[in-house]
C-alpha cells in the first residue's frame, strides 16, 4: 500500500538534513523545528531513516518504506527534489503503553503491521520480478 | 532518589492530600484532586493494593505496570490517610524496535522481582513525618 500523497509533503529536508519546509499535516510536531537538523531533533532516528533517504538522493527515485520510531509504526515516502528531499508519512500504529493489556495488544499489532508491510513489500517485489521474467520470456 | 522521596497521601476517597517533595514537580498540582481523575485506567491497577492495605490495616506492597513504568507500590495505612510510595523499577522505551525489545525484557524482569521487606511499622505513626 502506498503512502497517501497529500498536496504538501510532511516535511522538506535540504542536503544537510535541515528541515526547510513543514506541511500542514506535520505543523504541530515539526513547525517549531524548522531550520533545525532532523537528526539532532530526533535522537536515534538517523540510522533508521537516513539509509533510505540517502538511497533516494543517490538514485533519484522515490523510496517507500515502513519504520518504527518513537512508538510509531510509520509508512514513509521520500522523493528527491533537486538537492532537497520531500518526505510524506502515514502513521500506521502507535504503541499504547498505558496498561499491560493495552501494551500487549499494541505490541502484537505493531508486529502484525510490520509483518504485513514486509509481506506487501515482498509481494510487490515478487510481482515486479514476475513481470521482468514475463517480459524477458 | 529513595523510595521515601516519592510518595503521596490519599484520603478515604482517594483524594490526594499530600505530595512528597520528590514528586512535587510532577504531582504537586494534584493536591485536592481525586487521583483517578488524573490517571485513566489506573484504578484497576493500583486500586487492589490500596483496598488491601485499607482493609487489613497493614502495609501492602505490590509490583504494578502503568503508563510505561513498572513500579513497586507500597501502601501504608494510617489515621491521616493512606501513604503510597512509588519506587520506579523499569521504563518502557519506544525509541526504536531495539530499545523497545530491551525495555520489554527489563519490564518482564522487574515484574518478576521478589517483593521487598515490609516497611518499619513505626513509620505508620504519622505519614507526614516520613523522611
Q: Confidence band (pLDDT; 50, 70, 90) for A32?
A: confident
- With CA atoms as reference, report the closest residue to A89 among A21, A33, A23, A17: A23
Whether B105 contacts chain A with CB within 8 A: no
Contact B101, B74 (CB under 8 A): no
Give me the residues of A, 76-115, that contact B with CB < 8 A: 95, 97-100, 102-103, 107
Give the tens place of pLDDT for each residue, B14-53: 999 999 999 999 999 999 999 999 999 999 999 999 999 9
Give the tens place of pLDDT for each residue, B80-120: 899 999 999 999 999 999 999 999 999 999 998 555 544 44
Q: Which residues of A touch B67 (CB under 8 A)?
A: 97-98
pLDDT of residue B124: 40
How many residues comprise chain B?
131
- At B24, phi and psi to the nearest 5? -55, -45
Specify the pTM. 0.77
Taking the CA of residue B98 as centre, how many other CA atoms within 13 Å lie in the half-sphere pointing to its CB?
4
Average pLDDT, chain A: 86
B75, B79, B80, B123 from B54: Cα distances, Å: 9, 10, 12, 16
Prediction ipTM score = 0.78
Q: CA-CA distance, A16 to A78, in Å (whole number)? A: 15
Mean pLDDT (whole number) for B67-82: 93
Amino acid at each position: 500500500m502506498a503512502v497517501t500523497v497529500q498536496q504538501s509533503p510532511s516535511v522538506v529536508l535540504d542536503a544537510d538534513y535541515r528541515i526547510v519546509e513543514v506541511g500542514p499535516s506535520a505543523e504541530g510536531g515539526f513547525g517549531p523545528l524548522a531550520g533545525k537538523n532532523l537528526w539532532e531533533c530526533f535522537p536515534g532516528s538517523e540510522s533508521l531513516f537516513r539509509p533510505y533517504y540517502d538511497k533516494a538522493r543517490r538514485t533519484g527515485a522515490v523510496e517507500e518504506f515502513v519504520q518504527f520510531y518513537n512508538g510509531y509504526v510509520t509508512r514513509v515516502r521520500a522523493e528527491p527534489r533537486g538537492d532537497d528531499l520531500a518526505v510524506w508519512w502515514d502513521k500506521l500504529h502507535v504503541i499504547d503503553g498505558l496498561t499491560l493489556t493495552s501494551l500487549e495488544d499494541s505490541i502484537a499489532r505493531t508486529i502484525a503491521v510490520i509483518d504485513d508491510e514486509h509481506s506487501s513489500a515482498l509481494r510487490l517485489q515478487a510481482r515486479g520480478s514476475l513481470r521482468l521474467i514475463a517480459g524477458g520470456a | 532518589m529513595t523510595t521515601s522521596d516519592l510518595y503521596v497521601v490519599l484520603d478515604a476517597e482517594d483524594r490526594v492530600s499530600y505530595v512528597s517533595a520528590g514528586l512535587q514537580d510532577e504531582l504537586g498540582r494534584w493536591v485536592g484532586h481525586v487521583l483517578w481523575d488524573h490517571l485513566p485506567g489506573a484504578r484497576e491497577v493500583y486500586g487492589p493494593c490500596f483496598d488491601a492495605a485499607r482493609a487489613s490495616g497493614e502495609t501492602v506492597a505490590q509490583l504494578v505496570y502503568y503508563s510505561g513504568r513498572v513500579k513497586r507500590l507500597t501502601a501504608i495505612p494510617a489515621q491521616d490517610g493512606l501513604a503510597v510510595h512509588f519506587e520506579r523499577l523499569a521504563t518502557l522505551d519506544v525509541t526504536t524496535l531495539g530499545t523497545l525489545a530491551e525495555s520489554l525484557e527489563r519490564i518482564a524482569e522487574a515484574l518478576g522481582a521478589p517483593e521487598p521487606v515490609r516497611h518499619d511499622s513505626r513509620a505508620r505513626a504519622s505519614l507526614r513525618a516520613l523522611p
